[in-house]
Amino acid sequence: MACSRNQSVSSPSMPWKYDVFVSFRGEDTRNNFTDHLFGALHKKGIVTFRDDTKLKKGEHISSELLQAIEGSRIFIVIFSRNYASSTWCLQELAKIADCIDVSGQTVLPIFYDVNPSEVRKQSGDYEKSFLKHEEIFKENLEEVQRWRDALAQVANLCGWDVRDKPQFAEIEKIVKEVTCLLGNKSSTLPGDIVGMHPRMEELKKLLNLDLDNDDVRVVGICGMGGIGKTTLATALYARISNQFDACCFIDDVSKTYGDYGPIGVQKQLLYQTLNEENIQICNLSMASNLIRTRLCQTKSLVVFDNVDQVEQLDKLTMAREWLGRGSRIIIISRDGHILREHGVDEVYKVRLLDHNNALQLFCRKAFKSDDIMSGYISLTDDVLTYANGLPLAIKMLGTFLYGRDASEWKSALSRLRENPRTDIMNVLRISFDGLEDTEKDIFLDIACFFYEKGEAYVKRVLDFRGFHPEIGLRVLVDKSFIILEKGRIFMHDLFKELGKSIVREKSPKEPRKWNRMWDYQDVHNVISENMATGNLEAIVLRRYPENIDKIQAMSTLRAEALAQMSRLKLLMLWNLNFSGSLNFLSSELGYLCWDKYPFTCLPSSFEPDKLVELILPHSNIRQLWEGTKVLCL
């Protein structure tokens, strides 16, 4: 190319839909130069609009095509011998010229099988074509002149004369120029990347993208559902894809694998990297051989998103050494154990957003601005406290609250505290459904009772419950349900809400049918009404609840109602007042903690064979039992 260009394309106020729009005469260049160019752009991860021939019906181009032109950052115009004979092509060209004048987009002219001078001077075949147009459109010569002007404007820009030159080499130069013009490809970054730039830099360091690093490196990304794993990977993919010869981003490995098996995943990999849609694959061995032979010399970037079983990776039978030197593989999973088991080089755990980034993301969704609207500061703080840094919740709540007045916000927040949004819970529920039954029980116990409690204490309780806490807690850590820090167990507030909603879901308005109870009001109602509670295994109340004054003002309960709870294993009561007589306690109890126990002894019928811990602070207890009891210790 004879002249230089600017280093990058300026970004408009609104994001582009496409990186490149290609204008070409199908019958001249399709199935050869143009197809090869599309394939090369695709391999670089460059989003290119491809006009399908089936759209070309009638004399006027469609509104969809006009919108595609307006939404493209760069135009590639392939001038061929019959380009000017097509009124469709000339209409495209006129629209492109308009966009250049208005928005300053970049045009790259390519002279395929025609002399650039003939195009610029509109001589030879181009002159013949315009004479025909003037005859056909003699009632609208202004439009023909508009086409002539557009042709002159674009053809006189710096371009490539690819006549009698190796197509592969010329296409490589064109793609390199497009990549340079796009710069960091900010046009294709996800729209909600608040707080992502530092994370991308951290991930880039783990990928070790130095030019002199020829190793094939595999990095995993893990974190809880909705935390932004895919957003981060998509943003990074857009940022670094121009450093690779072939790129592949498989959006949902779990679904593709479930629907089509490992061959379905392999087909996507081969199609995206080789740009060959109709690859014939009969079995895994054939697909593996194609990957090994076709990609072994290609520096590739491969992203596997939403892997939820290690076999989804193992059965691909794809070794890292099958890819070209300098290739990088990114695997995204909610389960860190899957990544370690597969043997990744590094694992990047995505963190929750800090307050400033959470606030910025929420404001963009709720106010379409980076600032909080007057009168909404306190309400915004309440929303951010509820979302607790989880991007999914922040975006969904911001979108839901957009355009609503303060009274509607208050109503929505009040409802959220009682009934979490289904769309948020559904995303988090996916991880829960992937747990084994014992792990589900551990999750539910922590969500309902033991968040922020000491790890050693919780392990003792869970061990009594028969839940094998050593491995169970590790699984929950790997799947990002909990964090073990400084000897305590922490869980995101929305996971707590998920656990409680799961306990309630079969009988949301009938607490007596639940197997766990944690809410003072629910416990008070069930006991005061002496309801049958055959499913109930645990009542665990928080010692220092938020509404302590209201709780202490509750009416005195009759202890006789506890006789209905024959399966109770955990009973931890605080701040409630009891009277009456206590003739029965479940012999299944392992943990009995009763603040202000009102009786002088435990019921004589109580068999404490399974009792692990007995705590009766501020009680009237004088002796454990009346009479003599033989303990099986």
Q: What are the residue numbers of the active site?
A: 92
Element (DSSP H or E) covering residue 592: strand 591-594
- Tell me which DSSP letter residue 550 carries: H
Name which of 363, 344, 358 is nearest 303 in CA terms.
Answer: 344
Strand order in the sheet with 48-49: 48-49, 18-23, 72-79, 106-111, 160-161
For β-strands 482-485 and 488-491, DSSP reports them as antiparallel
Q: Is 530 exposed, middle or buried (0-12, 13-18, 19+ CB in 10 A)?
A: middle
Name which of 214, 100, 201 is nearest 157 in CA terms.
Answer: 100
Q: Is 211 exposed, middle or buried (0-12, 13-18, 19+ CB in 10 A)?
A: exposed
- CB contact at 8 A, 337 and 476: no
Give strand ranges (E) for 391-522: 482-485, 488-491, 516-517
Beta-bridge partner residues of 248: 302
Which position has the token pair 């001589």?
Answer: 123
d(CA 625, CA 583): 12
Q: Count CB neighbours of 308 within 10 A.
A: 19
Task: Find all residues with CB under 8 Å of 151, minimum gap 6, and list them.
Answer: 84, 90, 93, 119, 122, 126
The CA-atom distances, in angstroms, between 281 and each of 266, 295, 321 are 9, 16, 21
Q: What angle do CA 208, 211, 215 make, to 5 degrees?
A: 55
